[in-house]
Amino acid sequence: MSENRNDAPLREDIRQLGGLLGSTIHDQNGAAVYDIVEEIRGLAKDARGGDTAAGQALEERLAALPDEWIVPVVRAFSQFLNLANIAEQHHRVRRSRAWLRDPESGPLRGSLEEFFTRMLPETEPEALHATLAGLNIELVLTAHPTEVMRRSMLQKYNRIAELLEKGDRLDPTPEEIEEVHQALRREITAAWETDEIRRRRPAPQDEARWGLAVIEQTLWDVVPHFLRRLDRMLLRHTGKGLELDAAPIHFGSWMGGDRDGNPRVTAAVTREVCLLNRWQAVELYEREVAALVEELSVRTANAELRELVGDAWEPYRTALKVVRDRLIATRHWIEARLAGRRPPDALIYWHAEELRAPLMICYRSLLETGSEVVAEGRLKDLLRRLATFGMTLMRVDIRQESGRHTEVLDALTQALDMGCYEEWSEEERQAFLIKELANRRPLIPPDFAPEESVEEVLATFRMIAEFGADSLGAYVISMASRPSDILAVKLLQKEAGVSSPLRVVPLFETLTDLQGAADCLTQLLDIPWYREHIQGEQEIMIGYSDSAKDAGHLAAAWALYQTQEQLVEVAKEQGVRLTLFHGRGGSIGRGGGPTHAAILSQPPGSVDGRLRVTEQGEVIQAKFGLPGIAERNLELYATAVAEATLKPPAPPAAEWREQMGQLADSSCQVYRHLVRETPEFIDYFRHATPEHEISHLAIGSRPARRRPTTGVEGLRAIPWIFAWTQTRLLLPTWLGVGDALHQALAGNAKQALQQMYQQWPFFRAFMDMQEMVLAKSDPAVAAWYDARLVPEALHPLGAELRQKHAQTREMVLTVTGHAQPLDDAPVVQRSVGLRNPYVDPLNLVQVELLARIRHGQEDDLREALMICINGIAAGMRNTG
């Protein structure tokens, strides 16, 4: 693997952090533990270099580890991988800034500077400004059931990143270098002495607090800085800046609102989370206004401000003190609500416009009285934060499974002697729902006393009526398949007295539902009541996770592409503006991967200046935990959506579509044959992966299964993929792809496939992600699990899967023309190579732990297993 001089600072950071970790282990745990860690590290590196004897010695050494040494050994390798991640994230920031010192190197692809340089020669400035200023991108943060690391550890790792940045300052003195080195040593020692694993399963409120911490610690400052840069670039290149109320990127949340299959998310929980979001927002605004009170001692004011404050000596301070006091009153009011009290009505801030109004008076006064430079500072940043975050930081989406609404309506119609809603045809359901939507009288009688599950759904709608669209975002219906699923939620909102109904977003997830999505939308838009109600705006969510679990990655990817095309066409024909909400995960098998390439590979017309997308908990820290990385990801979203809007890709050629259809059909058959139709597959899966053990760990608020079944169909997509990632086979991401490509190549399609790879962004992005998977996976590691954990009768199935992996690797490289996976992405290639010798020992220890746990030693070894899971996830990065 070739070295790159630009990576020398990264290698130095990793060397320094690894050395400090080694010193810490020696000091805190003694020479014996340090020596065994070093011995294992040396054997793992030699084994990766091809030394068979070292590999055998590594297996024997780890199998013989005494119980008391297992935890410090796995912690050592886990912490090194986390430190390597920090160093790599910091290096990404370093690389993104390098062009400022060396303009000839050019800005990074997808940066604002690169985007404007490339787009201006072929785009009218007016179109460029209109597109960027009109962007509507919402990143929806979600909790993640495989995130095991505590917030205290994340905070320590963030401080380590800050120290690395401090060490990069130009011409540091020897004293400054030593100061940073000692501070790093303190943080690494503190991290080593901190329990990094949760001891209890987090509640939904805990997950919501974790999401709020990302806003408070990073995005609160990054957003105004990013908007300043965008404003400057627009002004410089188009002559017109960004409006103060522009919010090209804003944030939503599923934390505390996603009740699909999670009985712990109730109406009371969502109410509490909405209040927590508001409390955090008010607390942050209070800080900013207090700072403005200190800063704005300016005496000159315009007539508008004077009308507000009279002849006050310091008019801005006088006006802002009133704002500050009202924010304090609002915070106290929310705290009372959170404590379960009903505080008396008070003059509080509930709507963003109420806070914006006095701030704008101050802003206009500064502009009109010659203090524009003052207005353009902290006050402007605050106004932009308000436009982005509102009074709730993130609006919470409600997600519920369609069957729960059917249950409610069935209970209601039976109680009213109207029949059994659940047994009605789709036509009968629609007729009933449309009639009741137009009826002014209430449908639900005051004495209606349903079962607890029905009452909980109704309580959720009452909560929606209480908080409304200021705190809540969309109402997402999972497992939606027909118009009545959407109309049912419209009716339940009406019956609850929701004055400003939430937009209702059907989520099409399975292959069958994706294929029927366009027909469902057509039927909906043919209903006059519905057509009038949506006012020309429709949002639809498409699910990457369950579609891939249902049909395999390749078939799901093609179905998602076609579904988007069809939905865009229906919306265009009907004159409706469509927003697509992408339910992507962090892993490749759930739609994850590089943001920029993913957006640019979408079908033409499917982006159109607007995009909603989930940001899964496992990647939130990686993408938004550090300021430099967070800003880089915001600009990647902005530039990719703008480019996809201004220069959408050409539609694929007819022969490419036909070829892709054949690939999808072939891969789906292979995937379903193995996963669903091979009787021994589930038994093999349970033995060969830690799926069972993962479901019993305290690493997420919701259950690993939607329903108590023994098959894959009841398992959530996240633990399904996460379990295979732990063994490094990553089976769901590639199964069926190799067989489909082999069949196509055998039919003389090599030239066509290579042309598709070179010229079609969608197919190129898919194949590049396959290379990523193949580079990170290792069937030899998966074989360790089989040898120790799988009954001998199931070994042939494991061998067959590993053979299919080898075939997939060969077929993918034939199409891409690369000698090794990621040959055209050397930075990622080197990153994978760096991690392997540190992940290998964790896999071997995990095999040993699973073997011991399955023989009755679970209580003693649970902590070590959790650390192993965490370490392997850190080494694999996009994991579930």
Total domains in the fold of the chain: 2
Spatial separation of the C-alpha atoms in residues 541 and 259, rounded to whole Å: 16
Contact status, residue 508 vs residue 517, Cβ threshold 8 Å: yes
How far, rounded to the nearest angstrom, does the alpha carbon of residue 291 sit from its chain's CA centroid?
A: 33
Give pLDDT, residue 157.
84
DSSP string, 475-518: EEEET--SHHHHHHHHHHHHHHT-SSPPPEEEEE-SHHHHHTHH
Q: What is the mean pLDDT of residues 19-44?
A: 93
Q: Could you report the per-residue pLDDT of 204-246, keeping only the tens digit for each?
A: 888 899 889 899 999 999 999 999 999 999 999 999 999 999 9
- Of 141-155, 473-487, 802-816, the range with the lowest mean pLDDT is 141-155
Give pLDDT, residue 203.
86
Kindly tell me if the per-residue pLDDT of 699 is higher than 60: no
- Does residue 673 sit within a domain? yes
Q: Could you report the per-residue pLDDT of 751-763, keeping only the tens digit for each?
A: 999 999 999 999 9
Q: Could you report the per-residue pLDDT of 534-559, keeping only the tens digit for each?
A: 999 999 999 887 888 889 999 999 99
Give pLDDT, residue 879.
45
Q: What is the mean pLDDT of residues 767-787?
A: 94
Give pLDDT, residue 1.
39
- Does residue 412 sit within a domain? yes
Kindly tell me if the per-residue pLDDT of 707 is higher than 80: no
- Does residue 297 sit within a domain? no
Spatial separation of the C-alpha atoms in residues 879 and 585, rounded to whole Å: 9
Kindly tell me if the per-residue pLDDT of 148 is higher than 60: no
Residues of the chain with pLDDT > 70, as a percent, come to 92
- Does residue 666 sit within a domain? yes
Label the pairing between strands 395-401 and 472-478. parallel
Q: Which residues are catalytic?
A: 144, 549
Spatial separation of the C-alpha atoms in residues 391 and 379, rounded to whole Å: 17
Alpha helices in 168-302 (DSSP H): 174-192, 204-214, 220-238, 267-295
Kindly tell me if the per-residue pLDDT of 712 is higher than 90: no
Q: What is the mean pLDDT of residues 484-513?
A: 95
Give pLDDT, residue 323.
98
Burial 538-556 (b: 16+ CB within 10 A, else e): bbbbbbbbbbbbbbbbbbb
Give pLDDT, residue 2.
40
Label the pairing between strands 537-543 and 504-508. parallel
Q: What is the mean pLDDT of residues 710-723?
A: 69
What residues form DSSP beta bridges with 401? 478
Q: What is the mean pLDDT of residues 834-859?
A: 86
- Does residue 26 sit within a domain? no
Contacts with 492 (C-beta within 8 Å, 6 or more apart), sequence order = 405, 408, 409, 457, 458, 461
Q: What is the mean pLDDT of residues 37-64?
A: 90
Kindly tell me if the per-residue pLDDT of 704 is higher than 60: no
Q: Is the pTM of this model over 0.85?
A: yes
Kindly tell me if the per-residue pLDDT of 590 is higher than 70: no
Which of helix, strand or coil describes residue 728? coil
Going along 701-756, which residue ranges are E strands? none
Name the phi and psi angles at 540, rounded to 5: -135, 135
Q: Could you report the per-residue pLDDT of 275-317, keeping only the tens digit for each?
A: 999 999 999 999 999 999 999 999 999 999 999 999 999 999 9
Spatial separation of the C-alpha atoms in residues 412 and 448, rounded to whole Å: 8
- For the chain, the first-to-last Cα distance in angstroms comes to 28
Contact status, residue 703 vs residue 262, Cβ threshold 8 Å: yes
326: part of which helix (H) or strand (E)? helix 315-338
Q: Is 538 left (phi over 0), alpha (psi -120 to 50) or beta?
A: beta
Mean pLDDT rounded to a whole number for the chain: 90
Burial 831-870 (b: 16+ CB within 10 A, else e): bbebbbbbbbbbbbbbbbbbebbeeeeeeebbbbbbbbbb
DSSP string, 80-91: HHHHHHHHHHHH
Give pLDDT, residue 589.
47
Confidence of residue 880 (pLDDT cuts 50, 70, 90): very low
H/E/C letters for each residue in 166-191? HHCCCCCCHHHHHHHHHHHHHHHHHH
- Of 446-455, 482-491, 853-862, the range with the lowest mean pLDDT is 853-862
Angle at 303 between CA 301 and CA 307, to 5 degrees: 100
Q: Could you report the per-residue pLDDT of 262-286, keeping only the tens digit for each?
A: 889 999 999 999 999 999 999 999 9
Give pLDDT, residue 65.
85
138 vs 85: which has the higher pLDDT:
138
Spatial separation of the C-alpha atoms in residues 24 and 22, rounded to whole Å: 5
Retrieve residue 424's tokens: 């009605």
Kindly tell me if the per-residue pLDDT of 635 is higher than 70: yes
Give pLDDT, residue 544.
82
Alpha helices in 590-675 (DSSP H): 595-600, 617-624, 627-646, 654-675
Q: Which of 484, 503, 522 is the last residue of a domain?
A: 503
Kindly tell me if the per-residue pLDDT of 870 is higher than 70: yes
Q: Which of 450, 477, 503 is the last residue of a domain?
A: 503
Burial 3-41 (b: 16+ CB within 10 A, else e): eeeebebbeebbebbbebbbebbbeebeeebbebbeebb
Q: Which of 503, 528, 553 is the last residue of a domain?
A: 503
- Of 171-175, 340-344, 500-504, 790-794, the range with the lowest mean pLDDT is 171-175
Kindly tell me if the per-residue pLDDT of 512 is higher than 70: yes
Q: What is the mean pLDDT of residues 139-161?
A: 77
Spatial separation of the C-alpha atoms in residues 4 and 783, rounded to whole Å: 33
Angle at 28 between CA 26 and CA 30, to 5 degrees: 50
Q: Could you report the per-residue pLDDT of 326-350, keeping only the tens digit for each?
A: 999 999 999 999 999 988 877 899 9
Kindly tell me if the per-residue pLDDT of 632 is higher than 80: yes
Q: Is 445 left (phi over 0), alpha (psi -120 to 50) or beta?
A: beta
Alpha helices in 790-825 (DSSP H): 795-816
Neighbours of 678 (CB within 10 A): 14
- Does residue 871 sit within a domain? yes
* Closest to 210 measured CA to CA, from 750, 812, 774, 625: 625
Report the chain's C-alpha Rg in angstroms: 28
Domain, as residue range, for 490: 408-503
Kindly tell me if the per-residue pLDDT of 422 is higher than 80: yes
1 vs 781: which has the higher pLDDT:
781
Largest separation between any pair of C-alpha atoms in the chain: 90
714 vs 521: which has the higher pLDDT:
521
Spatial separation of the C-alpha atoms in residues 110 and 131, rounded to whole Å: 16
Kindly tell me if the per-residue pLDDT of 9 is higher than 90: no
Contact status, residue 574 vs residue 538, Cβ threshold 8 Å: no
Name the phi and psi angles at 539, rounded to 5: -115, 135
What residues form DSSP beta bridges with 149? 197
- Does residue 605 sit within a domain? no
- Does residue 370 sit within a domain? no
Q: Hey, CA dihedral for 282, 284, 290, 293, is it positive or negative?
A: negative
Give pLDDT, residue 144.
63
